Amino acid sequence: MGPILTLSPLGTSSAWPEVDVDDDGDAAVVWQQDSQVVARRVSRTGALGPLRKLSPEIGINPEVAVSPGGRGLVAWSDRRDGLWRTMAQFFYPDGSVGPLHNFGGGSAEKPAVGVDRNGVHVVAWAQGYDRVVARRIKPGYVSPLKDLTTSTAAVGGPGFGMLRMGVDRDGDTLVSFLAGGTNGPRVWVRRWSRSGALGGLLAVSSPTYAAGFHHTVATDLDGDSILVWTRHNAAAFQTELLGRRLSAAGTLGAPVRLGLGDRPEVALDDNGDGLVVWHAPGSPQEATQVKARTISQTGVFGAARILSSDGRVTRTDTSPTGRFAVVWQRKSYPYTIKAAFGP
């Protein structure tokens, strides 16, 4: 591993970093700093670009996606004139930025951002928590606003949030979110094809229980996806994970109980092999384990493995060919960052 690089100036309040990397290994890093959204490029050799302030006023919850050629798009929630708006800006490999795009009404929720192999980005966000909307964007073009929820009747009322996104090679986009439900929030998904057509609104989680706060989605290049979400296990007084596959054709596989735990993250390589990670209660009671399960191309979850007996808040990603990385924070002091790598 290379040296630790300091990206933010000393004396600032910096938090919530996000990063994405192009095909050559050059990265774009964004974070929240003193109630502003800032960004910095990091080359594959470790060279740092200039620090850029993106938000003109109060900016929070940034997200970034980088195209195969290195063009990044940063989106965030911006507060101005007493209203939340969703903003976006291109962030280029040389550290320069493009024009500021004001997408209009939004919320304090983090927007979801993705990009296809042709370099077309997609931004989705909760508009006033009343609906989920999205736009496609590339230099010189911004698509009309697309309503992905069209009617709140199907989901049992408003209250949309916690958006996640998966994009295949051609730009077909799957957006997942929490909304509605007579017994509490459920996980829903909808596909927005590159042609502009909307697929059916699909309920991923059961109507008999409330989905938990965290869920995640990953999509391979062919458009097959894996969804993982949480629910409260009343009998055990703990949170448990469930997962299921959604094919590119729109077929949902059966839900699979993955075990007790929270804060799931999932990643798929180009061919659909994947890994889901999370933190789970350990022994003694105050301990927290880092666990993982492999995922086959057909959506079969492997046996659970313990990666650490002292960890929380796991993150994972993969190379195109299935070299996976898992990163977590130690729960006990000192709260160091740990990582594991492997096929």
In the chain, what are the domains? 12-147 (2.120.10.10)
**Peptide bond preceding 334 in cis form (omega within 30 of 0):** yes
CA-based max dimension of the chain? 57
Enumerate the β-bridge partners of residue 112: 124
* Phi/psi at 312 (5° precision): -155, 165
The pLDDT assigned to 119 comes to 97
Average pLDDT over residues 73-79: 96
- 134, 192 contact by CB (below 8 A): yes
The pLDDT assigned to 153 comes to 67
Tokens of residue 69, six digits = 């050629």
- 125, 63 contact by CB (below 8 A): no
The beta-strand segments (E) located in 22-154 are: 27-33, 36-42, 52-53, 58-66, 72-80, 83-91, 97-105, 112-115, 121-127, 131-138, 141-142, 146-147
In the predicted model, is pLDDT for residue 337 greater than 70?
A: yes
For the chain, give the number of residues: 343
Average model confidence (pLDDT) for the chain?
94
The pLDDT assigned to 130 comes to 87
Three-state secondary structure readout of 23-39: CCCCEEEEEEECCEEEE
* Phi/psi at 154 (5° precision): -65, -30
pLDDT band at 54 (very low <50, low <70, confident <90, very high): very high
pLDDT band at 181 (very low <50, low <70, confident <90, very high): low
For 213-244, how does the pLDDT look when each residue is reduced to its tens digit (9 = 90+)? 999 999 999 999 999 999 987 776 789 999 99
Please tell me the least confidently modeled range out of 238-247, 259-268, 280-289: 280-289
Please tell me the least confidently modeled range out of 131-135, 148-152, 277-281: 148-152
Average pLDDT over residues 162-167: 97
- 342, 324 contact by CB (below 8 A): yes
- Give every CB contact of residue 307 below 8 A, 6+ residues apart in sequence: 277, 289, 290, 291, 292, 326, 328, 340
Is 316 or 233 the better-scoring residue by pLDDT?
A: 316
Q: Which residue has the tokens 């309040």?
A: 13
For 12-43, how does the pLDDT look when each residue is reduced to its tens digit (9 = 90+)? 999 999 999 999 999 999 999 999 999 999 99
**Peptide bond preceding 343 in cis form (omega within 30 of 0):** no
Average pLDDT over residues 194-210: 93
Q: pLDDT > 70: what percent of the chain?
A: 97
The pLDDT assigned to 158 comes to 67
